[in-house]
Structure 1
Amino acid sequence: MLSIIKRILGQIKNDKRSLGLLLFAPLLVLTLLYFILGDANYIPQIAVFDMNEKFVTELEKNADVIEENEKPLGIDFLETNGIDAFIWSDTKGIHIEMLEQNSKSAAVITAVQNTIKVLQPAQNELIIDYVYDTASDNQMDSLAYVFLGVISFFFVFILSGMSFVRERFGQTLERMLMTPISRVDVIGGYTIGYGLMAAIQSVVIILYSVYVLRLHVEGSVALCIAVMILMAFSAVSIGALVSIFANNELQLVQFIPVIVIPQIFFTGLIPLDTIPFGLGNLCYLTPIYYGCTALEMIMIQGKGFWEIWPWLAGSSAFIGILFLVNVMALKKYRRL
């Protein structure tokens, strides 16, 4: 038994990837969780209309306040100006209108409640309205865009990456590179081949979710399918890139805590501008951000092509960049 223990410890010591997985990957995930889910000290931006000066003065201690001369139109005002909420009052109470329920809206409500406690405790009823109100839907409906994006991306990454590794392990790739075929043709063939299978999977997932599970989609189902297909090709490209640096399936799996899990934090579960130290800007380096953001805009907000095209362009750009990186990475097997 002692000799087995020594052998296993020796193997782990010599396997730098396993050692990094054991020591570095958990610290990376925990650090991201600390910054993203910890106390972000987010200060909400609130527009007020026809509120008394005492209320505005006290509210300014808890939020950035903008006084409006006329009552703004909800969705246009909030989305165009990046305002978290606007507030006005009438005989029914204090009205708060926000885009959707998230940590930012919670910060707004806390700021208003703290203000009311100081000025007029238990005298004003809060009437809260959301532009994109998912309260009548189940939790699966409100977070469907996250689940669809993550599940599709994860399985496509695993299946394509392992398939690439098997091609190399079976020496199929090496034999192919002995022929005059170019690296561009090799990467292009693999990417399109596995990408088409991943695209079929994406279509099946969307159709099953919408027509069997009855998930609510406010916008176009066809646009959801297009976004999922782009995400699938991104996952195939990342799987191909990682597989070039993995010698077997186990080493590919070891990349998951570093390549896949951190991207989940940028799917829309948490408002990115509430993450401290500007870490939310890391979302632009993760292809899953573009896909999940587009899915949210379609499924929850009912946006069309012209509203989501920047995110579609971002996904397409990632596919192109990863394609070029894969072609260059293939030089380790052959220089043409």
Structure 2
Amino acid sequence: MNHLAKRVIRQTLNDKRSVMMILIAPLLLLTLIYLLLGDTDYVPVIVIEEATPQNLVTALNKQDIELIQEKQTITSPKTYLTDNEHVDAVFLYSDNGFDMTLREPSTKSSTAAKEIQAALSSINPASKMETSYVHGSTDQSTFDSLGYVFLSLFSFFMVFVISAMAFVKERSEGTLERLLMTPIKRSEVILGYTMGYSVFAIAQAILIVLYTVYILQMSSNGNIFLVLLVLLLLATTAVLFGATISVFASSALQVVQLIPFTIIPQVFFSGLISLDLIPYHLGNLSYIMPIFYGASAIKEIMVYGNGFDAIWGYLSGLLLYILVLYTINVRALKKFRNA
């Protein structure tokens, strides 16, 4: 028993990836979570009308907000928020009471609502306030609010794991080396693998979209075919991403060991946390995360009901990622055959 325990310890110490997985990875992930979920310096922007009672204006100015007073009457708060993307909330006073309009159920909206509620409570704790959203509703479930994130996460993660494991298996069994002994080009090898897994990516995209929308009744305000297009590009990116990761892994275990460093950080930049709320400008890291482009495009379609003109930038980001990863994989095959 003691000899077995010593052998396991020696084998683990000789595997640097395992040591990092056990000792270093938790520290790095906890540090990332601390930075992302720690105190934020985000200041919500709240708009009121100039006719708002002065005591309420004074109370609002005491809160940690950026207050804007509009001279003109705001007849449609939802239209105002749509036209002014930097504004988080419109807070109006009338003889009938108080009305607060927010963009959507999110952390940013919650921050703005909390500051408004604190100001209102300091004047009259019994005051009632009606709340409405431009996108979504007050009785909307968390699944409806964040379902688009999980669509992109599951689509990317599942395909990534399968493709990375498959590429490692092809190498470990010598299939890839034998394939490269034929006249086939390296570019054709990568393209063939990508096309093969894309068939399953299409099937997966159709299945999860139809299931979430028609079975789980997740609300969608846009074109379902655009969602399928985004998921297909995201899954294709995942195939190539998995192939790239497999270059640095010699076994399925090592692929698993790389997940905390390659996949888990992307979860935090997928839309679960509002990027504006992430301190130290870490939200800018989202632009190097493929899941960010997929999740943002799906949100534009399913939550905002926008069309191709609103998502073409995100689609371009995914296409650029596909091109870069494809080039990396083709060049990586040089170590198996120079041709």
Aligned to 1:94: 98
Identity, % of aligned pairs?
42
Correspondence 1:42 to 2:46: no
Note the alpha carbon deviations across 1:50-88, whole angstroms, 9 max, x for none: 323443343233201122122444344324431111111
Aligned to 1:221: 224
Check whether the contact 2:131–2:138 (CA below 8 A) recurs between aligned residues: no
User: In structure 1, what is the Cα distance between the partners aligned to 2:106 and 2:142?
Assistant: 13
Correspondence 1:262 to 2:257: no
1:18-167 matches, cutoff 5 A: 18-49=18-49, 50-61=51-62, 62-72=64-74, 73-79=76-82, 80-118=84-122, 120-122=123-125, 124-167=127-170
Q: Which amino acid aligns with 2:65?
A: A
Aligned to 1:274: 277
Note the alpha carbon deviations across 1:106-163, whole angstroms, 9 max, x for none: 2112211222243x12253222111112444433222221121111111111111111
Aligned to 1:331: 334
User: In structure 1, what is the Cα distance between the partners aligned to 2:195 and 2:2?
Assistant: 50
1:231-246 matches, cutoff 5 A: 231-246=234-249
User: In structure 1, what is the Cα distance between the partners aligned to 2:21 and 2:143?
Assistant: 32
Q: Return closer, same or farther for 1:176/1:86 CA change in 2, 3 Å cut-off.
A: same
Q: Which amino acid aligns with 1:66?
A: I
1:330 offset after TM fit, Å?
2.2
Aligned to 1:171: 174
Check whether the contact 1:92–1:125 (CA below 8 A) recurs between aligned residues: no
Which has the larger displacement, 228-237 or 145-154?
145-154
2:132 counterpart SS class: strand
2:42 counterpart SS class: coil
1:31 offset after TM fit, Å?
1.5
User: In structure 2, what is the Cα distance between the partners aligned to 1:313 and 1:78?
Assistant: 27
Check whether the contact 1:199–1:233 (CA below 8 A) recurs between aligned residues: no
Aligned to 2:6: 6
Q: Structure 1: state its 5+ residue gaps.
A: none
User: In structure 1, what is the Cα distance between the partners aligned to 2:53 and 2:11?
Assistant: 71
User: In structure 2, what is the Cα distance between the partners aligned to 1:200 and 1:226?
Assistant: 12
Which has the larger displacement, 9-18 or 73-82?
73-82
1:65 counterpart SS class: strand
Aligned to 1:204: 207
Q: Structure 2: state its 5+ residue gaps.
A: none
Q: Return closer, same or farther for 1:316/1:116 CA change in 2, 3 Å cut-off.
A: same
1:143 counterpart SS class: helix
User: In structure 2, what is the Cα distance between the partners aligned to 1:258 and 1:75?
Assistant: 41
Check whether the contact 2:78–2:101 (CA below 8 A) recurs between aligned residues: no
Note the alpha carbon deviations across 1:84-106, whole angstroms, 9 max, x for none: 11111001222211111221112
TM norm structure 1: 0.94
Cα RMSD of the aligned pairs, angstroms, is 1.8
Which has the larger displacement, 212-221 or 250-259?
212-221
1:297 offset after TM fit, Å?
1.7
Q: Return closer, same or farther for 1:135/1:111 CA change in 2, 3 Å cut-off.
A: closer
User: In structure 1, what is the Cα distance between the partners aligned to 2:126 and 2:214?
Assistant: 47
Which has the larger displacement, 257-266 or 197-206?
197-206
Aligned to 1:305: 308
1:254 counterpart SS class: helix
Q: Which amino acid aligns with 1:191?
A: T
1:180 offset after TM fit, Å?
3.4
Aligned to 1:188: 191
2:87 counterpart SS class: coil
Check whether the contact 2:40–2:277 (CA below 8 A) recurs between aligned residues: yes
Q: Which amino acid aligns with 2:40?
A: A
Paired residues in the alignment total 335
